[in-house]
Structure 1
Amino acid sequence: MKIANGMEFVNDDRVIGKWENIGWISGINSFSVTDLNDKSGEYNILYFLPNGEPYWIFEGWTKGVILINYGGDDPILSYRYDLRDIDGKQYLFFRLDDKTEVFVKADSEHYTKATLGNHDNIDLPFVSDKKLIGAWDSVAFVSETEDFSPENKYDDLFLKSMKILPDGDLIQTYMDSEWHDKWTKGYILNLHRTTAAKYQITEINGTEYLFMEWKMGNYIYGGMKPDYYVFKRKI
């Protein structure tokens, strides 16, 4: 069976399941699990699905190799992994270009894309919010709401705009597509990803800005806290 990059899939039962990051070390040959650097935040959780099945940025795996694509026209990259049993625990050493991310095995579940990751309850009753209704254009993407400054310019934002309709429907316009989703007071409900993103509207220097949690792959599959898209009301 072929996977990404035309590689032949070779099974490795030991790696199937969920792995949690515990830190990283310099270099790509060490098997140390002590004196690790604090977690980098790049990869908090890894899932290995049966048969090398891909998910999120992970284009699949075969014995000893993880395939990653960071999006767009970027190539699919191959990285080595090694396994070791140390003091009764299973560890995975994920070899990047100049460092090794270290993981400990959390479970050996046979996950599928439908069952893994963080998902929210989106079965929420509709409650109107007159302040939200209207058209909003994206102006920024930030890690924390306090990082936003109206003076800063952000180019090539993936999510371009949102149109909030009075009946609880909304249209999100991306670079290459439109998504039709739902909203209720306090939340943007992503039907595709099964997430409920909190929003808040803040006035800065007399201008209204909408801050929305960005709950995509990093949140769903990577175990990371969400970043924020910032929108300005379209006049």
Structure 2
Amino acid sequence: MSKLRNKWPFLVIFIIILCIALVYVFRQTDKTDYPFVNDPNVIGIWSTIDTIKTIGDFNPSKYSDNNIFPSISFNFLYNGEILLSKSGGSMKKTNWYRWTNGILIHEGSKTASHYVLKQYLNKMYMLIENKNGDYSLRNKTPDYKVLVKQ
């Protein structure tokens, strides 16, 4: 019995590592090897303002009650690179994100989030698929983040 008692921490660690490996192997990923194609309308700084369930729920005059997320700003550069700022911090280059016409690509999670641009009362909005863990690990349909161009 004492031999088993000494080995159980290793067994627990083994099971945790096995579960993590299985999640990684069976997670949902997207095609991410898209070539860069410029979209001049996207160049610039965009900030998150809302989360919506579907594109049809977009209403720029009324925000949803789903606004529980950190304030994130993206600076889309001409070469497909992205600078990122969280909660009003300084813009920093990120190797995780890049973009091409119609798609925001996250290299770490291997997701390709499609976006749609909409103009309303002289403001440009980006509705972008929110492909987070619910999408990649639980196979759920992504909701949308709403960003406004600064």
- Report the TM range for the smaller structure's normalisation: 0.7 to 0.9
RMSD value over aligned CA atoms?
Answer: 2.7
**Superposition TM-score, scaled by structure 2 size:** 0.77
Partner residue, 1:95: none
Contact 2:23 2:137 (C-alpha < 8 Å) held by counterparts = no
The 2-side partners of 1:140 and 1:123 are apart by 29
Contact 1:200 1:210 (C-alpha < 8 Å) held by counterparts = yes
Partner residue, 1:171: 83
Q: Gaps spanning 5+ residues in structure 1: where? A: 11-49, 56-110
Partner residue, 2:72: 160
Query: Following TM superposition, by how much is the alpha carbon of 1:186 offset from its aligned partner in structure 2, in angstroms?
Result: 1.1
Name the CA shift for 1:115/1:158 in 2 (closer, same or farther; >3 Å).
same
Partner residue, 1:233: 149
Partner residue, 1:190: 106
Q: Gaps spanning 5+ residues in structure 2: where? A: 1-7
**What does the per-residue CA deviation read over 1:178-231, in whole Å, with 9 as the maximum and x for residues that have no partner?**
672110111101012111100110112332100110111000001101110001
Structure with greater proportional helix content: 2
Give the aligned residue type for 1:182. Answer: R
**What does the per-residue CA deviation read over 1:117-155, in whole Å, with 9 as the maximum and x for residues that have no partner?**
110111111111101111011111111112122233464
The 2-side partners of 1:186 and 1:218 are apart by 22
Name the CA shift for 1:203/1:176 in 2 (closer, same or farther; >3 Å).
closer
Name the CA shift for 1:2/1:199 in 2 (closer, same or farther; >3 Å).
farther
For CA contacts below 8 A with separation 6 or more, give which structure has more relative contact order: 2
2:88 equivalent to 1:124: no
* Number of aligned positions between the proteins: 136
Contact 1:168 1:183 (C-alpha < 8 Å) held by counterparts = yes
Give the aligned residue type for 1:200. Answer: V
Name the CA shift for 1:159/1:189 in 2 (closer, same or farther; >3 Å).
farther
1:46-85 alignment, distance < 5 Å: 51-53=15-17
Query: Following TM superposition, by how much is the alpha carbon of 1:112 offset from its aligned partner in structure 2, in angstroms?
Result: 2.9
Partner residue, 1:203: 119
Structure with greater proportional strand content: 1
Contact 1:190 1:196 (C-alpha < 8 Å) held by counterparts = yes
Name the CA shift for 1:188/1:231 in 2 (closer, same or farther; >3 Å).
same
2:49 equivalent to 1:139: yes
Contact 1:135 1:164 (C-alpha < 8 Å) held by counterparts = yes
Give the aligned residue type for 2:36. Answer: F
Contact 1:2 1:9 (C-alpha < 8 Å) held by counterparts = yes
The 1-side partners of 2:107 and 2:71 are apart by 16
The 2-side partners of 1:204 and 1:176 are apart by 25
